[in-house]
Amino acid sequence: MTSADTDDHPAWNQEQLRRAIKAAGIALWTWNVDSDAFTMDRRGYELWDVSTEDATLTFEHLSEKIHPADRDRVRAAFVATRAVVGQYEIDFRMLTNPGEVRWISARGQGDDFEIAARIMSGVFLDVTGRKQAEEGHELLAGEMSHRVKNLLAIASGLTQITSRSSTSVDEMASQLTQRLAALGRAHDLVRPLPGGQGSAALLGDLFTVLLAPYDDEGAFSGRIRVAVPRMGVGENAATGVALVIHELATNSLKYGALSAAAGNLDISGKMVGDDVDVVWTEQGGPGVEPPEGSGGYGSKLVQRTMSGHLGGSITYNWTPSGAVVTLRMKGDRLSA
- Count of domains forming the chain: 2
Measure the CA–CA gap between 144 and 142, rounded to whole angstroms.
6
Same domain, 36 and 74: yes
* pLDDT tens for each residue of the chain, 336 residues long: 444 444 555 566 777 777 777 777 788 888 887 787 888 888 888 888 787 766 678 887 888 888 888 888 888 887 777 666 667 788 888 887 766 788 888 887 765 655 656 777 788 888 888 888 887 777 777 777 776 776 677 677 667 766 765 678 887 787 677 667 666 665 565 444 454 444 557 888 889 888 887 776 654 467 899 999 988 887 777 777 887 887 888 888 888 898 888 889 999 999 999 899 999 999 998 887 787 766 665 677 788 888 887 889 999 998 888 999 999 999 888 877
Same domain as 175, residue 265: yes
Question: Model confidence over 36-76: pLDDT tens digits?
Answer: 788 888 888 888 878 776 667 888 788 888 888 888 888 88
Last residue of a domain, one of 126, 150, 178: 126
Check which CATH number belongs to the domain holding 271 and give it: 3.30.565.10
Q: Indicate if the alpha-carbon torsion angle 144, 148, 149, 154 is positive or negative.
A: positive
Assess whether 29 and 82 both reside in one domain. Answer: yes
Expressed as residue numbers, the domain containing 316 is: 131-334
Contact 261, 220 (CB under 8 A): yes
Tens-place pLDDT, residues 111-131: 565 565 677 778 888 888 888
Instruction: Mark which of 126, 150, 166 sits at the end of a domain.
Output: 126
Domain co-membership, 135 together with 122: no
- Dihedrals phi, psi of 239, to nearest 5 degrees: -60, -45
Q: What pLDDT sits at residue 208? A: 87
CB 266 within 8 A of CB 285: no
In this structure, are 190 and 275 located in the same domain? Answer: yes
At 55 the three-state DSSP class reads: coil
What's the pTM value of the predicted model, to 2 decimals?
0.49
Residues 109 and 85 in one domain: yes
Q: How many whole angstroms separate alpha carbon 28 and alpha carbon 227? A: 64
Judge if 178 and 40 occupy the same domain: no
Q: In angstroms, what is the C-alpha Rg of the chain?
A: 29
pLDDT at 265: 94
- The CA-based diameter of the chain, rounded to the nearest angstrom, is 90
Q: What is the pLDDT of residue 227?
A: 94
Examine the domain organization and report whether 251 and 207 are in the same domain: yes
| Residue 122 sits in the same domain as residue 139 | no
Which of 126, 156, 171 lies at the terminal end of a domain, its last residue?
A: 126
Q: What's the pLDDT score for residue 190? A: 46
Same domain for 179 and 56: no
Give the CATH number for residue 49: 3.30.450.20
Task: Tell me, yes or no, whether 217 and 247 share the same domain.
Answer: yes
- Candidates 334, 111, 118, 153; CA nearest to 240 is 334
193 and 299 fall within a common domain: yes
